[in-house]
């Protein structure tokens, strides 16, 4: 798809999301749920039932908070016993350290092409230790030396679309926030955070939120990161035509 003309001066830097933009997050969540299964079993709970309930909770929304509490209740654990189990199971979930998470095809080459054309960074929400583990497991860390995890700035309250993270990353990249081009999979987060600072976004339609409506609307909507990099490179170069990556 050829995007419409870019609505303003060309961007001076590019920001990419992590989960479901660079790699499919479902693999990480499955591994973390399995870790909770094992931890539940060691605590005398029905690990399989907890695992199944947690998988259902994650499928309904992986970043809503309180998923383990709800999973335990769904698995038949009395509410009065949540306090004795939740901390250990949360620790098992957040402590999951996968050895390898395969990026989507073409992601590494696309990031290298973007980094050669403009300052490049990553903006992601979530537990900082978990996000660091994900990035390490993808093997993409060397291609993204500037990473901001919003939760490290103030917890869940400054997750996208709050602009604090994007402004912090803009400062690290040495680029005005409104001259960044944001690439991500979630309109309500990645597209919205770009709009919050007067910047523009490319929405990648894949992963958990692939079917979410395009609201707010991104400047361009594509199917994968290499396609997003192609349109970004065209704008960075001032050609207006997507370039191969």
For the chain, the domain total comes to 2
* DSSP states of 127-150: -HHHHHHHHHHHT-GGG--EEEET
CA angle 158, 164, 167 (to 5 degrees): 155
Compute the radius of gyration of the chain from its Cα atoms: 19
Residues of the domain holding 53: 26-94
Q: What CATH code is carried by the domain that includes residue 226?
A: 3.40.50.1000
Residues 149 and 81 in one domain: no
Q: For residue 239, what pLDDT is reported? A: 56
Whether 49 is in a domain gets the answer yes
Are residues 20 and 45 located together in one domain of the fold?
no
Contacts of 166 (CB under 8 A, 6+ apart): 15, 123, 148, 160, 177, 180, 182, 193, 194, 196, 197, 199
In a shared domain, residues 111 and 232: yes
The answer to whether residue 242 is domain-embedded is: no
**Domain boundary residue, one of 94, 117, 135:** 94
> Do the domain assignments include residue 245?
no
2 within some domain: no
Based on the fold, state whether residues 108 and 141 are members of the same structural domain: yes
Cα 152 to Cα 189: distance, rounded to the nearest angstrom: 17
Per-residue pLDDT of the chain (245 residues), as tens digits, is 577 899 999 999 999 999 999 999 999 999 999 999 999 999 999 999 999 999 999 988 877 789 999 999 999 999 999 999 999 999 999 999 999 999 999 999 999 999 999 999 999 999 999 999 999 999 999 999 999 999 999 999 999 999 999 999 999 999 999 999 999 999 999 999 999 999 999 999 999 999 999 999 999 999 999 999 999 999 998 755 555 55
pTM: 0.92
Sign of the CA dihedral running 192, 172, 126, 101: positive
pLDDT at position 60 is: 86
Co-location of 166 and 140 in the same domain? yes
Asked if 115 and 173 sit in the same domain, the reply is: yes
Q: Which pLDDT score is estimated for 3? A: 78
Q: Rounded to the nearest 5°, which phi and psi values hold at 183? A: -115, 125
User: Is residue 1 a part of any domain in this protein?
Assistant: no
| End position of a domain, from candidates 53, 73, 94 | 94
Do residue 55 and residue 136 come from a single domain?
A: no
Kindly state whether residues 129 and 208 are assigned to the same domain.
Answer: yes
Q: Is the peptide bond before 180 cis (omega within 30 degrees of 0)?
A: no
76 and 169 part of one domain: no
Q: What's residue 200's pLDDT?
A: 98
Task: Report yes or no on 7 lying in a domain.
Answer: no
| Same structural domain, 227 and 129 | yes
138 and 45 in one domain?
no
Specify the pLDDT at position 134: 97
pLDDT score at 242? 55
pLDDT computed for residue 108 by the predictor? 98
**Structural domain contains residue 244:** no
- 124 and 192 co-located in one domain: yes
Q: Is residue 36 part of a domain?
A: yes
Domain final position from 44, 74, 94: 94
């Amino acid at each position: 798809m050829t995007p419409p003309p870019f609505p303003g001066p060309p961007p001076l830097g590019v920001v990419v999301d992590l989960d479901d933009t660079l790699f499919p997050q479902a693999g990480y969540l499955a591994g973390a749920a399995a870790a909770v299964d094992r931890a539940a079993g060691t605590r005398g709970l029905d690990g399989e039932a907890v695992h199944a309930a947690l998988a259902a909770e994650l499928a309904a929304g992986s970043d809503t908070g309180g998923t383990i509490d709800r999973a335990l209740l769904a698995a038949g654990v009395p509410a009065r016993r949540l306090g004795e189990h939740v901390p250990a199971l949360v620790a098992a979930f957040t402590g999951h350290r996968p050895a390898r998470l395969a990026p989507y095809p073409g992601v590494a080459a696309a990031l290298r092409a973007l980094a050669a054309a403009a300052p490049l960074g990553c903006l992601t929400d979530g537990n900082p230790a978990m996000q660091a583990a994900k990035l390490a497991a993808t093997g993409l860390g060397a291609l993204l030396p500037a990473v901001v995890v919003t939760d490290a700035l103030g917890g869940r309250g400054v997750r996208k679309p709050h602009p604090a993270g994007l402004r912090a990353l803009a400062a690290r990249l040495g680029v005005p926030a409104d001259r960044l081009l944001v690439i991500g999979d979630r309109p309500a987060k990645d597209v919205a955070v770009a709009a919050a600072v007067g910047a523009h976004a490319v929405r990648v339609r894949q992963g958990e939120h692939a079917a979410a409506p395009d609201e707010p609307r991104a400047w361009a909507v594509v199917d994968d990161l290499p396609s997003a990099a192609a349109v970004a490179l065209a704008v960075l170069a001032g050609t207006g035509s997507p370039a191969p990556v």
